[in-house]
Amino acid sequence: MTEAVAAWGATAPDAALAPMPIERRELRADDVAIHILYCGVCHSDLHTARNDWGRTRYPVVPGHEIVGRVNAIGSAVDGFAIGDAVAVGCLVDACLECPNCAEHQEQYCPGSVGTYNGRDRHDGSQTQGGYSKRVIVRDKFVLRVPDALDLSRAAPLLCAGITTWSPLRHWGVGPGKRVAVAGLGGLGHMGVKFAAALGAEVTMITTSPSKADDARSLGASHVLIATDKEAMKAATGRFDFILDTIPVAHEYQNYLRLLKASGHLVIVGAVDQMPGFHSGLLLGGRKSVAGSAIGGIKETQEMLDFCAEHGILPETETIAMADVNTAYERMEKSDVKYRFVIDMATL
Ligand code: NAP
Ligand code: ZN
């Protein structure tokens, strides 16, 4: 039997989020049912609710930064028990057979299934996300939340955390590297914390001068104001690695100029048509532009364990479910410090 579950979702690009009960499937043998305690609010939730990427199927319940407790397990589930503190990020399934899955990069599996607006691999139904009381997820896509992490703050690690952790690790950010993070929002603030914890010298590039002090307390040694042309010019050739979290199309030529020879600009924000750039900006210094999407399940667990070991948690503002539309409006104005987390007890 399916189960009716309270949730909030959107029915059209211009509709505010509103109560929208959904049906959760009957438990399969390898499923874990999770009572959701907290869900982070990612800018991708907003892009999806508003159909910014042109591929939203309505009605949609966003939310892919989920923390909760196990409240039922399927007959074949091994290793999870009722009451365990668990989490779910942006992925709820993948083929687990292709070359990307074999390398624990399930996010690049052609058959991967998003936590919301995805298609279930068994029955083709649409997946619905974490702005809800309960979610049912294949066991291999359920993460463990280490005891040391405060459940009320951990949720943003499941997307903002892993999306910044994965590229920092892949491109070997650590001691001796000069790293810049562009955009101080949900992703950016985790990027700064992780790059600093990994031992790099970190610069925050922001359009909001008022965030400079916060950037320093998060771990940045320097702050660059993106609109200050002189300061940007003075930073030419400074960085080994730039993590670009800006959520809209933008002139990233300006950031390419900031790279040293052999440096990398990695775009994690804005799934959008980007303006072109002069190829000389790449050739004259063997620079590269790359992209990165979330991270695999294994590395997500490693990131959670690293956070527990190093005392790293997101900076969050807890909100009630009914405040989510105001939270979206504030996120659009870059007015978030630095991730909204919905307390699901308010749903
Ligand atoms: P967010 O919390 O809204 O933060 C974005 C930050 O970017 C803002 O706080 C602002 O920082 C800066 N910004 C906003 N508009 C800007 C503009 N016009 N020009 C320059 N900077 C601007 O968003 P988020 O949740 O971190 O997400 C960021 C992007 O990453 C979104 O597009 C989201 O969809 C995407 N995303 C990608 C992945 C992935 O797998 N690759 C995963 C999650 C999210 P300042 O005030 O410091 O300038
Ligand atoms: Zn996200």
DSSP 52-112: TTS---SSB-----EEEEEEEE-TT--S--TT-EEEE-SEEE--S-SHHHHTT-GGG-TT-
Tokens linked to 292? 């990165």
Domain-wise residue ranges, the chain:
3-159+314-346, 161-291
What superfamily in CATH does domain 3-159+314-346 come from?
Medium-chain alcohol dehydrogenases, catalytic domain (3.90.180.10)
Q: What burial class does residue 15 get, using C-beta atoms within 10 Å of its C-beta: 0-12 exposed, 13-18 middle, 19+ buried?
A: middle
Integer-rounded Cα radius of gyration of the chain: 20
What is the rounded distance in angstroms from the CA atom of residue 222 to the CA atom of residue 195?
13
Convert the pLDDT of each residue in 167-222 to its tens digit: 999 999 999 999 999 999 999 999 999 999 999 999 999 999 999 999 999 999 99
Closest-CA residue to 161 (of 178, 175, 149): 149
Paired strand residues for 40? 341
Please indicate whether residue 132, judged by its CB atom, sits closer than 6 Å to ligand 1. no
pLDDT, tens digit, for every residue of 281-312? 999 999 999 999 999 999 999 999 999 999 99
- 245 within 8 A of 266, measured Cβ to Cβ: no
Tell me if domain 3-159+314-346 and domain 161-291 are identical in fold.
no
Q: At what angle do helices 186-197 and 160-170 cross, to 10 degrees?
A: 40
pLDDT, position 270 = 78
The C-alpha atoms of residue 81 and residue 99 are separated, in whole angstroms, by 31
Strand partners, 87: 67, 143
- Architecture of the domain delimited by 161-291: 3-Layer(aba) Sandwich (3.40)
SS3 113: strand
> For ligand 1, atom 4, which residue shows the shortest CA distance?
185
Q: Is the CB of 180 under 6 A from ligand 1?
A: no
Give, in order, the Cα–Cα distances in Å from 126 to each of 114, 123, 270: 10, 9, 24
Q: How does the average pLDDT of the chain come out, rounded?
A: 97
Tell me the mean pLDDT in the region 264-278.
91
Gap from CA of 21 to ligand 1 centroid (Å): 29
Output the pLDDT for position 1: 84
Give the mean model confidence (pLDDT) for residues 41-60. Answer: 97
74, pLDDT greater than 90: yes
Quote the pLDDT of residue 347. 97
- Which residues lie below 8 Å from residue 86, measured CB to CB, with a gap of 6+? 32, 34, 67, 68, 69, 70, 80, 142, 143, 144, 145
Written as six digits, the tokens of 13 are: 């690009």
Our answer on whether the CB atom of 270 is closer than 6 Å to any ligand 1 atom is yes
User: 10 Å Cβ neighbour count for 284?
Assistant: 10
64 C-beta closer than 6 A to ligand 1: no
The count of residues in the chain is 347
pLDDT > 90? residue 271: no
For 133-159, how does the pLDDT look when each residue is reduced to its tens digit (9 = 90+)?
Answer: 999 999 999 999 999 999 999 999 999
Residue 13 confidence (pLDDT) above 90: yes
The yes-or-no verdict on residue 317 having pLDDT over 90 is yes
> Token pair 């600093």 is at which residue?
196
Asked whether 85 lines ligand 1 (CB < 6 A), one says no
pLDDT of residue 261: 98
Q: What is the pLDDT of residue 85?
A: 98
Confidence of residue 160 (pLDDT cuts 50, 70, 90): very high
Residue 245 CA to ligand 2 center (angstroms) comes to 11
**Does ligand 1 have an atom closer than 6 angstroms to the CB of 334?**
yes
Token duo for residue 181: 């993070």
pLDDT at 272 over 90: no
Select from 302, 32, 344, 304 the least CA-distant residue to 147: 304
Find the 90 Cα to ligand 2 centroid distance in Å. Answer: 7
Dist. CA 47 → ligand 1 center (Å):
11
Return the structure tokens found at 149. 């992490």
The candidate with the shortest Cα–Cα distance to 314, out of 194, 174, 135, is 194
Instruction: Give the residue whose CA is nearest to atom 20 of ligand 1.
Output: 246
Contacts of 316 (CB under 8 A, 6+ apart): 40, 152, 153, 155, 156, 338, 339, 340, 341
Q: Is 114 in the pocket of ligand 1 (CB under 6 A)?
A: no
According to the model, what pLDDT value does residue 99 have? 98
| Tokens at 272, concatenated | 């959008």
Residue list, CB under 5 A from ion ligand 2: 42, 44, 159
For the chain, give the percent of residues with pLDDT over 70.
100
